[in-house]
A and B are shown apart, each in its own frame.
Chain A
Amino acid sequence: MLDTARIRPDFPILGRQENGQRLVYLDNAATSQKPRKVIDAIVHYYTFHNANVHRGAYALAVEATDAYEAARTAVARFVNAWAREGVVFTRGTTESINLVAASWGRTNVGRGDTVVVTAMDHHSNIVPWQILCQEKGATLRMVEITADGRIDLADFGRALEAKPKLVAFPCVSNSLGTVNPAAQLIKLARAAGAVTVVDGAQSSPHLRVDVQVLDCDFYALSGHKMLAPMGSGALIAKPALLEAMPPYHGGGEMIERVWDDRSSWNKIPHKFEGGTPNVEAAVGLGAAIAYLEKLGMERVAAHEQELARIAVDRLSQIEGVTVYGPPDHRAGVVPFTYGDIHPHDLATILDKDGVCIRAGHHCTQPLMRRLGVAATARASFYIYNDLDDIDALVTAVRKAGELFGVPA
């Protein structure tokens, strides 16, 4: 496991006391905390290098542009992108997917076509496709999940028989923690002639990702779940696809020439980055990637999987607790319910002990309907979580049982 005693001091917020107790932050699937190096990178950028990028003819503007583009190089290296030009900065996974739906989708999906998503997708990888399909008169096909929380491969195969134009799925489920067999799914989808979109929001922070090995067409990630600022993120795509796609937002920076009645477009990725970008977010993302690369993503994954394994084990020992998700191929996400205590009540009670968990539908209402629950409690781990955090979680959950008198 990672040396959390050395990692934790890097995160100023973990020094905060919650109701007089140590902060136990277990809502990492929602957003991660930020290390000092990321916070410092943002402060440093504004203190010494701030100017608008790709515009100014003066040294400061060149420095800002260099900082911004260096972050692009870092993202490209981190996921082994096909090319630097295939990394488009966005506000996060949601915007990345909306970009694909609005640009590639509107151009390539028409009446009678099929788009495939899965029942474990986050709303951000469902709703943009619903909007597209409704606009185009296309069919949205949702692939079912198995009882133990995996993508139903038989149903996936059936969905591909419709020769879908596009297949979208999450690399890792935010709600169940399932690590999907992404490369296998992509291979099957590609053989059926589909373009593939991978929601990487829960994989890029936690696993080693190589988009060229995956061989997907689009990969979306959010910086804020991987130590970087809110509002940072990227769409990683095969450059040829981006070249052929129309722009997403019109404005400055994305144009080559503007006539009175029409315009021509800038080169990729700038064609998709209309307006002044969030340079601070990109710089922070670059610093976050440097931090993660130093730890090594294989070690990050092993650390979280071990914490999840122990948490599943210990929570399961509490009579009345149900843990959701598959027994294996699980990332550091542990969804559970406890007797008839509503997850919101659990979250409030845990919060009293400084334990932050998420309670609700986790932006996966189709999945919740299939699980037959309105909501779950979810503990999710990251690099700074340790066994003490699991102790605090288990102790607080037991306390909730006592308060509510859960029948054993």
Chain B
Amino acid sequence: MSSAPPDLSELYQQVILDHNRNPRNFKRVESANRKAEGNNPLCGDRIQLYVQLDGDTISDVGFQMPQGSGCAISKASASLMTEAVKGKRMGDAEAMFEAFRTMLAGGANAPGKLAAFSGVRAFPSRIKCANLAWHALHAALEGSAEPVTTESAKDF
């Protein structure tokens, strides 16, 4: 039992609720040259991520979640991630993932809007939801053919 119960409004910040309701880049990217699938077998969350790489720049990125298979945290995280990494270089996107992961593990807040997920820290059962899209992005950038699952990634 935690001494100070975490507040729901810290988890479900307005920006998260907004991106859950109106996810950005919620599309299949036809010109994508990198794709990855992310699975959370514990809860059935699934994400398809599409990345168009031009050189080492992410010129377009989009995601889809089969009907009903994304919770607010995983969907909003995917949406905010696509906004954050679009137009960025691969190395910068990986650095953002590192910052995001560090934040969820209890470290400093990630930059910009990604800090909205700092409230997830107080809900350990939801950290996998927040990380799912980022692991899929990492797999796509690595060109991995295997679907990534929250159970195979060692730092989930």
Q: Residues on A close to B: CB < 8 A?
A: 16-20, 340-345, 348-349, 352, 359-361, 365, 368, 372-375, 403-405
Contact A344:B129 (CB < 8 A) given known A361-B44, A403-B8 = yes
Q: Specify which chain A residues have a CB less than 8 angstroms from the CB of B72 in the assembled complex.
A: 341-342, 345, 404
B5 proximal to A (CB < 8 A): yes
A375 x B5 contact (CB < 8 A)? no
B71: contacting residue among A18, A20, A345, A373, CB under 8 A = A345
Contact A374:B11 (CB < 8 A) given known A19-B5, A342-B71 = no
B44 x A375 contact (CB < 8 A)? yes
B5 x A374 contact (CB < 8 A)? no
For A341, give the chain B residue with the smallest CB separation: B72
A374 x B68 contact (CB < 8 A)? yes
Q: Specify which chain A residues have a CB less than 8 angstroms from the CB of B1 in the assembled complex.
A: 16-18
B69 proximal to A (CB < 8 A): yes
Q: Residues on B close to A: CB < 8 A?
A: 1, 5, 8, 11-12, 17, 21, 42-46, 66-73, 75, 123, 125-126, 129
A342 x B68 contact (CB < 8 A)? yes
A365 to B8, CA, bound (A): 29
Shortest A349–chain B CB gap in Å is 6
For B5, give the chain A residue with the smallest CB separation: A19
Q: Specify which chain B residues have a CB less than 8 angstroms from the CB of A405 in the assembled complex.
A: 17, 21
Shortest A305–chain B CB gap in Å is 29
Contact A374:B69 (CB < 8 A) given known A344-B126, A352-B5, A368-B44 = yes
A348 x B11 contact (CB < 8 A)? yes
Contact A403:B12 (CB < 8 A) given known A345-B73, A374-B69 = yes
* Chain A interface, >50% SS class: mixed
A349: contacting residue among B8, B42, B70, B129, CB under 8 A = B8
B125 x A360 contact (CB < 8 A)? no
Shortest B130–chain A CB gap in Å is 12
A341 to B123, CA, bound (A): 18
Shortest A70–chain B CB gap in Å is 37
For A359, give the chain B residue with the smallest CB separation: B43
Q: Specify which chain B residues have a CB less than 8 angstroms from the CB of A343 in the assembled complex.
A: 71
Contact A352:B71 (CB < 8 A) given known A18-B1, A360-B43, A360-B44 = no
Residue in B5, B46, B68 with the greatest tally of chain A CB atoms within 10 Å: B68
Shortest B115–chain A CB gap in Å is 20
A375 x B68 contact (CB < 8 A)? yes
Shortest B127–chain A CB gap in Å is 12
A311 to B70, CA, bound (A): 26
Shortest A408–chain B CB gap in Å is 15
A-B pairs with beta carbons under 8 Å apart, 20 shown: A16-B1, A344-B71, A344-B73, A344-B126, A345-B12, A345-B71, A345-B72, A348-B11, A348-B123, A360-B42, A360-B43, A368-B44, A374-B66, A374-B67, A375-B43, A375-B44, A403-B8, A403-B17, A404-B17, A405-B17
A348 x B68 contact (CB < 8 A)? no
In the complex, given contacts A344-B126, A372-B67, what are 14 additional A-B residue pairs having Cβ atoms less than 8 angstroms apart?
Answer: A20-B5, A342-B70, A342-B75, A343-B71, A344-B45, A344-B71, A344-B73, A345-B71, A348-B11, A348-B126, A368-B44, A375-B44, A375-B68, A405-B17
Q: Specify which chain A residues have a CB less than 8 angstroms from the CB of B69 in the assembled complex.
A: 374-375
Q: Specify which chain A residues have a CB less than 8 angstroms from the CB of B123 in the assembled complex.
A: 348
Shortest A176–chain B CB gap in Å is 17
Shortest A342–chain B CB gap in Å is 4
Q: Specify which chain B residues have a CB less than 8 angstroms from the CB of A341 in the assembled complex.
A: 72
Q: Specify which chain B residues have a CB less than 8 angstroms from the CB of A368 in the assembled complex.
A: 44
Q: Specify which chain B residues have a CB less than 8 angstroms from the CB of A349 in the assembled complex.
A: 8
A352 to B8, CA, bound (A): 7
Shortest B122–chain A CB gap in Å is 11
A277 to B69, CA, bound (A): 41
10 tightest A-B CB contacts, nearest first? A342-B71, A374-B69, A344-B71, A19-B5, A374-B68, A361-B44, A374-B44, A360-B43, A345-B72, A375-B44
A19 to B46, CA, bound (A): 31
A138 to B119, CA, bound (A): 50
A197 to B5, CA, bound (A): 46
B126 x A373 contact (CB < 8 A)? no
For A354, give the chain B residue with the smallest CB separation: B5
